[in-house]
Amino acid sequence: MSNKLKLGIPKGSLQDATIALFEHAGWRIYASGRSYFPTIDDAEIECMLVRAQEMARYVEHGALDAGLTGNDWVLENQSDVERITSLTYSKQSRTRVKWVLAVPEDSPFEKPEDLAGKTIATELVEFTKRYFAAKNIPVKVEFSWGATEVKPPTLADAIVEVTETGSSLRANRLRIIETLMESETQFIANKAAWADPWKRSKIETLSMMLNGAMDAQIQVGLMLNVRKADLDKVIGVLPALNSPTISHLQDPDWVALNTILDNSLVRDVIPKLKAAGGAGIVEYPLSKVVL
C-alpha cells in the first residue's frame, strides 16, 4: 500500500464541526465550492467529502482507508469496519444524538407494540426494521427523503427520527414514546488499511490528536501561587486531571501550582481556591490534552 491515507470527511450536518475539530487537532482542511475533494495541509492524506450515511460502506469496501461517521450509520449498514475511537460531537453540541420513535401528541399510541400493522417513516430503515422484528411487532417501514417530522399522521403513523434537543419534534407537535439508540461520531477504518503498518500508524496519530483536541475544548488550565502552609487546603478543593504540578518559587514559603480541570467547574473552583489561600490565579485555554 502507498504511503497515502484516503480519509473520508462527512458531508452535510457534521462537515463544519469535523473540519473545525481537525483544525484544533492540527490539520487544516479547505473545502470550497462544489468540490468533493477538499485540500488538507498534510501531503500524506487525501480527503474526500462523503455523506455520513454512506461513509461506512465506502470504508468497508476500501474506497476509503478511514473516515468519520455516526455509529448509527455503521449499524444501519452493518458495516464490517475497525472502530478506532468514539468522538462525541454533533452539529449543535458535544453530546450524543438519539434516534427516537415519535408519534403525534394527540395519537393513541403509547408504546411500540401499539404500532402493530402501522407505517413508520424514517431514514434509518434497516435498523428500524430489525428493531421491530426483534420485538415481533409487524410494521411497514418506509424510507423518508426528508422533512420526516411533518409526515404523521397523514403520510405515516409514526416516525423514527434523530434528535439532539427534541425541539424540532416538539415544534411539530410530536412526542417520543421510545428511544431506539444513542449515537455518536465514530472514527472508523478499513480492515486492510488497519493491517498496514504505515496506515495504522497514521490513523492512530489522527485518533490521538483528535481526541486530544476534543478533551482540550472542555477543559482549561489553571495556574496559581499558594503558601506552603495552605497547600493541603488548596489541593483539597482542586479537582485535577492527575496530580497537580507543584513548582518551587524564589520565596521558600510559596509554591506554584498548575493543573487541568473541566471548564464547567471553573466558576465554582476559582472562588474556593481564593478562599483557601490561592493567589495570582490564572485560567488559560488548552490546545490539546493527550493522556
- pLDDT per position as a tens digit, 75-93: 999 999 999 999 987 655 6
User: Would the pLDDT of 188 be above 70?
Assistant: yes
Of 163, 156, 182, 140, nearest to 103 by C-alpha is 156
Distance CA 50, CA 60 (A): 14
In terms of CATH architecture, what is 5-91+185-195?
3-Layer(aba) Sandwich (3.40)
According to DSSP, the residues that pair with 200 across neighbouring strands are none
Give me the pLDDT at residue 33, please.
74
pLDDT in tens, 226-263: 999 999 999 998 875 567 899 999 999 999 999 999 88
pLDDT in tens, 98-112: 999 999 999 999 999
Give me the pLDDT at residue 102, please.
97
pLDDT in tens, 19-38: 999 999 999 999 887 789 99
pLDDT in tens, 114-158: 999 999 999 999 999 999 999 999 999 999 998 899 999 999 999
**Mean pLDDT computed over 49-65:** 97
Distances (CA, A) of 182 to 17, 56, 147, 252: 19, 18, 21, 53
Q: Which residues contact 205 (CB under 8 A, 6 or more apart)?
A: none
Enter the pTM of the model: 0.84
Give me the pLDDT at residue 98, please.
94
Distance CA 5, CA 200 (A): 10
Give me the pLDDT at residue 241, please.
56
Which triple of cell numbers denotes residue 195? Answer: 493491517
User: Would the pLDDT of 212 be above 90?
Assistant: yes
Pick from 10-14, 42-46, 257-261: least confident = 10-14
> For domain 219-285, is the CATH number 3.30.70.120?
yes
Give me the pLDDT at residue 12, please.
86
Q: Which helix (H) or strand (E) holds 69?
A: strand 66-70
Give me the pLDDT at residue 4, please.
94
**Mean pLDDT computed over 185-193:** 97
User: Would the pLDDT of 291 be above 90?
Assistant: no
CATH 3.40.190.10 spans which residues of the chain?
5-91+185-195, 97-183
**Mean pLDDT computed over 170-193:** 95
Among residues of the chain, what percentage have pLDDT more than 90?
81
Give me the pLDDT at residue 90, please.
63
Distance CA 42, CA 38 (A): 12
**Mean pLDDT computed over 208-231:** 93
CATH 3.30.70.120 spans which residues of the chain?
219-285
* Cβ atoms of residues 219 and 21 within 8 Å: no
**Which CATH number is 97-183's, of 3.40.50.720, 3.90.400.10, 3.50.50.60, 3.40.190.10?**
3.40.190.10
Q: Which residues contact 247 (CB under 8 A, 6 or more apart)?
A: 255, 256, 257, 258
**Mean pLDDT computed over 202-212:** 96
User: Would the pLDDT of 217 be above 80?
Assistant: yes
User: Would the pLDDT of 63 be above 60?
Assistant: yes
Give me the pLDDT at residue 242, please.
60
Distances (CA, A) of 7 to 39, 82, 186: 11, 14, 13
- Mean pLDDT for all residues in the chain: 93
If you search the block for the grid coordinates 497547600, which residue do you land on? Answer: 231
